Amino acid sequence: MIFGPPGSGKGTQAKLLRDLLKIPHISTGDMLREHTSHGDGLGVDAESWMRSGRLVPDATVDRLVEERLLQPDCAGGAILDGYPRTIEQARSLKAVLSRLGMSQLVIHLKVDYTKVIVRIAGRRQCARCGLLYNLVANPPKEPGICDRDGEPLVIRDDDRESVVRERLETYERQTSPVLDFLAGSGSKLCEVEGNDASPAEILQRIRDCMVLR
Ligand code: AMP
């Protein structure tokens, strides 16, 4: 489970860990964006919450994650990115994991909020494969184009500054208490410094911490 505020590098680290551990990457943000891009009922409902930087109702995301974790490719574990974000979600996850006989390891990426705002302002994402770039720290080889598949890079609607501030407030109010809840209920926790280091260096810190656990 990768935990941290918006812009802390959860998505980048989750993808690196997926490639390293060969287990699925489950991003509730990506799943919800897929529904909004298809314009189905769930997507239409989720879109208004997402556009304003607030959380989609627990029941919706809990169901998405439970269904995904029950897929056979998750039998050997999975990387959760952006879930759980409320104490209710953490409770629901705990119940699902105990039914599946799985335990959880929490990786907390610690970053300064001021850095997050600068980081998100430079964030771009491939419209097709979802690969993330940063114009300063990790730019594409050709401006505006994905290195992997040549598709255009886009700015997410909710990466605009006013929405980012709301997302940080939501994190502070609803999501950061989840960390205490998880630690208090016996989850293993890795605290990883996420400032001023390359994605590869942060991955190494995560690996070191996972081995030490
Ligand atoms: P992310 O890509 O993880 O930053 O998520 C983008 C947006 O999707 C969030 O700002 C929320 O509106 C919504 N979202 C993603 N994950 C969750 C979750 N676990 N619970 C509720 N809303 C979520």
The tokens for 166 are 């709301």
In this prediction, residues 151-170 reach a mean pLDDT of 88
**pLDDT-derived band of residue 72, with 50, 70 and 90 as boundaries?**
very high
The verdict on whether 10 is a catalytic residue reads yes
The verdict on whether 123 is a catalytic residue reads yes
Give me the residue spans of the domains in the chain: 2-112+175-212
Concatenated DSSP letters of 130-164: --EEETTTB--SSTTB-TTT-PBEE--GGGSHHHH
On whether the CB atoms of residues 90 and 182 are closer than 8 A, the answer is: yes
* Percent of the chain scoring above 70 in pLDDT: 99
How many angstroms separate the alpha carbon of residue 212 from the centre of ligand 1?
Answer: 30
Please determine, for residue 115, whether its predicted confidence score (pLDDT) is greater than 80. Answer: yes
CATH 3.30.1340.30 assigned to 2-112+175-212: no
On whether the CB atoms of residues 119 and 25 are closer than 8 A, the answer is: no
The verdict on whether 85 is a catalytic residue reads yes
As beta bridge partners, residue 193 has 110
The verdict on whether 115 is a catalytic residue reads no
pLDDT at 58: 98
In this prediction, residues 156-164 reach a mean pLDDT of 84
Please determine, for residue 162, whether its predicted confidence score (pLDDT) is greater than 90. Answer: no
Q: Kindly report whether the global pTM for this prediction surpasses the value 0.85.
A: yes
Segment 171-200, tens digit of pLDDT:
999 999 999 999 898 888 999 999 888 899
How many angstroms separate the alpha carbon of residue 29 from the centre of ligand 1?
Answer: 5
- Tell which atom from ligand 1 comes closest to the C-alpha of 170: 10
Alpha carbon distance 114, 121 (integer Å): 11
Q: Which residues approach ligand 1 with their CB closer than 6 A? A: 6, 28-29, 32, 49-50, 53-56, 61, 82-83, 85, 89, 158, 167
Secondary structure (3-state) at 53: coil
pLDDT at 185: 86
Alpha carbon distance 142, 152 (integer Å): 10
The verdict on whether 148 is a catalytic residue reads no
- Annotated catalytic residue within 54, 68, 91, 156: 156
